[in-house]
Amino acid sequence: MAIELRPLRHEDAAAQCAGEDEQTVRWLTGGYGTLAGTRAHFDRLAANAEAGRGKRGFGVWWDDRLAGYVDCDPDNRDGLQPGEAPVNLSYCVHPWARGHGVAVAAVGLICSYITDNAIGETAAIRVEPANTASVRVAERCGFRRCRRYPARDPAGNPISYDLYLHDL
């Protein structure tokens, strides 16, 4: 299995939108993306990467097919205590690629990107406890659960997240 991260381009937007399903909407986005909105999001990620600040994201490619998305955001302070400064990770895997270790590989690659680009020394994954697939990814990647905290889901509903941290 050849997993790699690549910058997202406008021509990748249709495949990214096609890969969204109920689980993606439930656990990550709060709604289905549009081509225009997805392209604009890709543009923001590219501008942030060029400037060396803010959220940066990549397509997760498995054998030259877009299998998902991963990003890192050093500015997300949700659920943190004073003195904590981890880089937040978010990811999704398209339904056809789930269950094959794609998310675990993508998290490992984005952690290497964070280290190689001196973005941070600790990574964070915030996950709803009921999202057992994401909990397994965090655990398989060596993240440790630190605490549960109140938050809001992408649709604005009150929920709880578990914060997982991993020193890089």
Q: Based on the number of CB atoms within 10 Å of its own CB, is 13 exposed (0-12), middle (13-18) or buried (19 or more)?
A: buried
pLDDT in tens, 18-68: 999 887 877 777 778 899 999 999 999 999 999 999 999 999 999 999 999
Angle between helices 132-140 and 102-116 (to 10 degrees): 50
144-152 and 122-127 strand pairing: unpaired
Q: Are 40 and 52 in contact (CB under 8 A)?
A: no
Sheet-wide strand order for 158-167: 3-6, 56-62, 65-73, 87-93, 122-127, 158-167, 144-152
**Whether the predicted pLDDT of 154 surpasses 90:** no
Q: What is the pTM of this model?
A: 0.92
Set out the domains of the chain in order of their start, with CATH numbers: 3-167 (3.40.630.30)
Using 50, 70 and 90 to split pLDDT, how confident is the model at 152?
confident
